[in-house]
Amino acid sequence: MSHDAKGDIEKFNFCRLHPQIRLGTASDRYAGWLGQIYTEDRYQDHIRQRTKVVRKHTFIEEVIPVESVAEYFEHFPVLEIDFTFYRPLLDQSGKPTQAFQTLKAYQRHLQDGDTLLLKVPRVITAPKLRRGGQYQDNPSYLDAKVFTRQFYQPAAELLGPELTGFIFEQEYLTKQDRPHVTEMAEALDGFFQETPRDNRYHLELRTELYLRDPVFEVLEKYGVGQVLSHWTWLPPLRKQLAKAGGKFFNAGGQSVMRLLTPIGMRYEDSYVQAFPFDKLVEGMLRPEMILETVDLMMEAVNQRVVMNVIINNRASGNAPLLAQMVARKFLKKVEPALKPKRQLGLWGD
């Protein structure tokens, strides 16, 4: 590790932070990152505007072109793709969707060593979906055939080695919609028994009730990772890992940690405060979140696990600046442990 790690961090270059640590972001094409991750004048003539309504207020987001992902990977070693959460890659007839076409556009700009985490469509992970103004039972919930045919196979074929993980995110379930923890464990068992065997699966459960042994036993059985998520209604990150006995379950030797929102702050409020995502926002940033993140990064290193730390703008206002803070804290903690390896010549350049 002979490069200038501190200098890299100040330049928003996190690719060589540590061989077992991958810092990345949730989505990537924010114009608010110009001058940080993206060259300031490179995309000025190609910025696209889109509207987003949050709490009855309309926000105008500025988005740069897909080709910017090549510059993104000059700074980060991993990227989480979010848009696949909203629709499969193939429709029911097997025809490519807009999500497939967008992902294909990304793939054209990837280089060897670039890695993507894909969010599995919520049509697979949500017991109910909002249709016609109300929530209705989802017939595709935990349907292994729909997952395999409409998402897994086209994703694996399109991305090949660049695809490093699938994130199954189950949104928060209200009391009236929650099955018992044993029922949830049985449903997950049946699902992963029928899906293609793969060591790139990671499950994020946003209902604390399900962070229990019956579910963890299923994850361990199939080598599915537990996503550690800093999110509104979940317990702190350390507690999430402690509930799993401190184990990382993923059979591929990887883990995913997502820094999404401040604990106790709803998505809508975090979005309103963070917009337009170009700076850290006072009152959003929680020091304990950074300390816990670094502690779990170190725990992954100690257990020889590759940790993917995915940072959302809504966790602090600006993901690249939060990545800098995390990287600085991590470097202070990991450097003393590296000195004996350097002296023995065990650390590669």
Please report, for the domain that includes residue 57, its CATH number.
Answer: 3.20.20.410
**Confidence bin at 56 (pLDDT 50/70/90):** confident
Is residue 214 in some structural domain?
yes
Q: How many domains does the chain have?
A: 1
What does the alpha-carbon distance between residue 13 and residue 9 come to, in Å, rounded to a whole number?
5
Is residue 323 in some structural domain?
yes
Is residue 349 in some structural domain?
no
What does the alpha-carbon distance between residue 91 and residue 197 come to, in Å, rounded to a whole number?
23
Residue with tokens 């809508």: 268
Q: Give residue 344's pLDDT.
A: 38
Span 282-290, average pLDDT: 93
Dig out the tokens for 49 from the structure.
């505007």
- 0.85 exceeded by pTM: yes
Is residue 235 in some structural domain?
yes
Span 102-117, average pLDDT: 97
**Confidence bin at 130 (pLDDT 50/70/90):** confident
Q: Which residue range forms the structural domain that includes residue 297?
A: 5-344
Residue with tokens 């994130």: 167
Span 227-238, average pLDDT: 97
Q: Give residue 28's pLDDT.
A: 97
Angle at 259 between CA 288 and CA 2, to 5 degrees: 85
Q: Which of 193, 173, 204 is nearest to 26 (CA)?
A: 204
- Give the three-state DSSP class for 37: coil
Angle at 255 between CA 250 and CA 262, to 5 degrees: 135
Is residue 63 in some structural domain?
yes
Q: Which long-range contacts (CB under 8 A, 24 or more apart) does 124-130 make?
A: 124/151, 124/168, 125/168, 125/169, 125/170, 125/171, 126/170, 126/171, 127/173, 127/177, 128/177
Residues 6+ apart with CB under 8 A from 291: 329
Q: Please tell me what DSSP assigns to residue 129.
A: E
Q: Give residue 248's pLDDT.
A: 98
